Amino acid sequence: MSKFVTLESAISAHLHDGDTVALEGFTHLIPFAAGQEIIRQRKKDLTAIRLTPDLLYDQLIGAGCVKKLVFSWGGNPGVGSLHRFRDAYQNAWPRPLEIEEHTHAGMTNRYLAGASGMPFAVLRGYFGTDLVENTTNIATIDSPFTDEKILAVAAINPDVTIVHAQQADRNGNVMAWGIIGSSREAVFAAKKVIVTVEEIVDSFEPRFNSVIYPEALITSISLAPRGAWPSYASGYYDRDNDAYIAWDEISKERESFTRWLDDEVYGKRVQDLTPVGMGR
């Protein structure tokens, strides 16, 4: 069976209400097209995992898809707050939002444990902070080899990890390059992997800092040109800083956000979207 399917089919077939899902891509290759297809299919009760919820999860949260957010930094990078996240957490709009909060190092290591098939990972972190009393999935353990306390963080094994990459080849292998963040760990940690790509090519050329996700790891691949916009895909297009700034206005009020949702997400089909407009 071909792994190449439309994004609509991929989300419909492989992501279910109540799933634990990680859409990764740190600052780069953020899978916006996939996130908006999740909204369009009105998926609900998701536990959404991501180091930086970013505009991507602000949209999912505002649309009511998310029951619980697991994260480590929830702002609009370089701009300010995530208004939909704040409104959901502080005012339960459009639904109550549970949170589980970590640090970047903690989240990265949680994926690493998940990718390695281990129940937990260890790091030096969190000690002395109020996170220790206020978050779950952490524990203090005695180092078995030295006389010190070490922090353990529980593995994350998402039901589904979704990543965007530059290219797939015709055999279903995927290549990403540039900033990779924690994507590789999130891919290896997942039970199912949905990938969107800029382009399908006959064969890969060597690239700067490239990562290959072999076909065996991947559940489905969908073509989604500009699918990371307004973040960027190195070699294809640059980050649209203006869109990040514009999001601050769009998301500030429930009314303007709802209008954006109707016009730019519900009002469009995934086939039409290159890209979904945010004030464009």
Partner 1 sequence: MAISEVNRDALVEGEKAPWNSNEMMTIAAARTLKDGMICFVGIGIPSTASILAKATHAPNLVLIYESGTVNTDPKTLPLSIGDPELANRALTVVSMPEIFNYWLQPGRIDVGFLGAAQIDRYANINTTVIGESYEKPKVRLPGAGGATEIAGACKEVIIVLKQTTRTFVSEIDFITSVGFGDGPGAREKNGLIGGGPRYVITDLGILEPDPESKELVLTSIHPGVTLEQIRENTGWDLKVAANLVTTSAPTSSELERVRALVATSSRKKS
Give residues in contact with partner 1 (CB under 8 A): 26-28, 51-52, 71-75, 77-79, 81-82, 85-86, 89-90, 101-105, 108-109, 112, 123-131, 134, 148-150, 178-182, 184-185, 208-209, 231-232, 234, 238-239, 241-242, 244-245
Of 199 and 238, the one with the shorter C-beta distance to partner 1 is 238
Of 2 and 90, the one with the shorter C-beta distance to partner 1 is 90
Number of other CB atoms surrounding residue 127 within 10 Å: 11
Q: From the CB of 193, what's the least distance to partner 1, in Å? A: 17
* The residue count for the chain: 280
Three-state secondary-structure class, residue 199: strand
First to last CA, the chain: 38
Q: What is the DSSP string of 117-130?
A: T-SEEEES-STTST
Of 80 and 119, the one with the shorter C-beta distance to partner 1 is 80
Q: From the CB of 235, what's the least distance to partner 1, in Å? A: 10
Of 11 and 112, the one with the shorter C-beta distance to partner 1 is 112
Q: From the CB of 267, what's the least distance to partner 1, in Å? A: 27
Q: From the CB of 71, what's the least distance to partner 1, in Å? A: 7
The DSSP element (H or E) to which 114 belongs, if any, is helix 104-116
Number of other CB atoms surrounding residue 191 within 10 Å: 14
Whole-angstrom distance, CA of residue 187 vs CA of residue 194: 9
Of 40 and 184, the one with the shorter C-beta distance to partner 1 is 184
Q: From the CB of 244, what's the least distance to partner 1, in Å? A: 7
Give the residues across from 122 on adjacent strands: 152
Q: From the CB of 39, what's the least distance to partner 1, in Å? A: 22
Give the residues across from 141 on adjacent strands: 150
Whole-angstrom distance, CA of residue 177 vs CA of residue 129: 35
- C-alpha 233: how far from chain center: 15
Of 232 and 260, the one with the shorter C-beta distance to partner 1 is 232
The tokens describing 140, both together, are 């203090």
Q: From the CB of 222, what's the least distance to partner 1, in Å? A: 23
Whole-angstrom distance, CA of residue 148 vs CA of residue 69: 32
Of 171 and 209, the one with the shorter C-beta distance to partner 1 is 209
